[in-house]
Amino acid sequence: MDNGQTERPTQQEEVERNYRAFRKRLPDILGEHRNKFALMRDAEIVDFFDTGRDAFVAGSNMYSDGRFSIQEVTDQPVDLGYLSHAGTLRPL
């Protein structure tokens, strides 16, 4: 029975979906945003930041449910799984 509500992805599903979307966009954003950190949600890049910490703080303030991830814009993206989100808690 459809109650009109859609199921929200888990945090891990969000990270994986964002990573796939990030990889597709990487060739287009690399030139302008190299070494920046992309804040992502719902398979979209929300904004770019100079540090992972700045991206994490912005994501935390914007999304209280914690469903966002962060990827560094580099030539060789690394899928850090959950750590692409949580790993920014440490100083960069």
| Segment 36-78, tens digit of pLDDT | 999 999 999 999 999 999 999 999 999 998 889 999 998 875 5
What is the pLDDT confidence band of residue 21, given thresholds at 50, 70 and 90?
very high
pTM here is: 0.75
Helix (H, G, I), strand (E, B) or coil at 39: strand
Provide the residue ranges of all domains of the chain, joining segments of one domain with +: 11-89
Strand order, beta sheet including 69-72 = 44-49, 37-41, 69-72
Residue 65's pLDDT is 87
